[in-house]
Amino acid sequence: MAMKAADIEKFIKEAFPDAQVEIRDLAGDENHYAATVKSAAFKGKSRVAQHQMVYAALKGNMGGVLHALQLNTGALD
Amino acid sequence: MSDVQTRIAGDVSANDVLLFMKGTPVFPQCGFSAMAVQILNHVGVKFKAIDVLSDPEIREGIKTFSNWPTIPQLYVKGEFVGGADIMREMFEGGELKPFLAEKGVAVEDA
């Protein structure tokens, strides 16, 4: 199973409308991605909390349809 | 709590540094788990590893326990630290060793 980069971005933008999202398909197999997500919503949150917020935005697809998503999150002012 | 959640809670509190991983430290079965082991070895910390592939209940249960969808997962002194990305960020930023020291976990001087 796989997921399109555009779908991942859509889920993230729905949850964080201000987010700057950059997604790379690491292996070209639509299954191993790296994403950089920056949003004001992450301000003051721990890394674990930031990643959990992104996983929540993906609505259960992470770990299921989507096998691997390397995450790099950061807060926007 | 279900039985498996109780088991996980017991493991987490019984081990100062606990890594839930796929495979074993000697034979990791996934690149992300392999990286997590490498990082812990590199900072010279003793850790206990639990192979989720050998226990389907733990494999599913840990995801609920931590509210985290993927393996590996690192616990230090009962606190969920993060998965492979967070471990790598902390390691590369030079934060991991001070974090462990602050938690009172012995690390070897490399």
Q: What tens digit of pLDDT does each residue of A1-58 get?
A: 578 999 999 999 999 999 999 999 988 888 889 999 999 999 999 999 999 999 999 9
Range of the domain at A27: 5-75
Q: Would residue B110 count as lying in a domain?
A: no
pLDDT in tens, chain B (110 residues): 689 999 999 999 999 999 999 999 999 999 999 999 999 999 999 999 999 999 999 999 999 999 999 999 999 999 999 999 999 999 999 999 999 999 999 888 65
Contact A47 B83 (CB under 8 A): no
Helix, strand and coil percent figures for chain A, each rounded to 5: 30, 30, 35
Is residue B87 in some structural domain? yes
Per-residue pLDDT, A30: 83
| Domain count across chain B | 1
CB A4 within 8 A of CB A62: no
Task: Name the residue among A52, A60, A70 with its Cβ closest to that of B85.
Answer: A70
Q: What is the pTM of this model?
A: 0.87
Q: Which two tokens stand for residue B28?
A: 């990791």
Q: Write the CATH number for B10.
A: 3.40.30.10
Tokens of residue B74, six digits: 């690192």
DSSP, residue by residue, B13-34:
HH-SEEEEESB-SSSBSSHHHH
Which domain does B77 fall in, by range? 3-102
Chain B residues lying within 8 Å of A71, measured CB to CB: 85
Residue A62 maps to which CATH number? 3.30.300.90
Q: Is the pLDDT of residue A67 over 80?
A: no
Residues A55, A33: Cα–Cα separation, whole Å: 13
How far apart (Å, rounded) are the C-alpha atoms in residues B75 and B68? 12
Q: What is the per-residue pLDDT for B107?
A: 87
- Do A48 and B81 count as a contact with CB atoms less than 8 A apart? yes
Phi/psi of residue A25, nearest 5 degrees? -85, 105
Above 0.90 for ipTM, yes or no?
Answer: no
Taking each helix axis from N to C end, the angle separating B84-92 and A47-57, rounded to the nearest 10 degrees, works out to 150
Does some domain include residue B107?
A: no
- The reply to whether omega before B72 is within 30° of 0 (cis) is yes
Q: What value does the CA radius of gyration of chain A take, rounded to a whole number of Å?
A: 12
Q: For position A3, what pLDDT does the model report?
A: 84
CA angle at A34 for the pair A63 and A50, rounded to the nearest 5°: 70
Rg (CA), chain B: 13
Asked if residues B23 and B53 have their Cβ atoms less than 8 Å apart, the reply is: yes
Instruction: Let me know if residue B108 belongs to a domain.
Output: no
Residue B44 lies in a domain: yes
Q: Which of residues 24-83 of B touch A (CB under 8 A)?
A: 32, 63, 67-70, 80-83
Query: CB-based contact (8 Å) between A53 and chain B?
Result: no
Q: Name the domain count of chain A.
A: 1
Residue with tokens 């493991």: B11
CB-nearest partner of B89 from A47, A55, A60? A47
pLDDT (0 to 100) of residue B110: 54
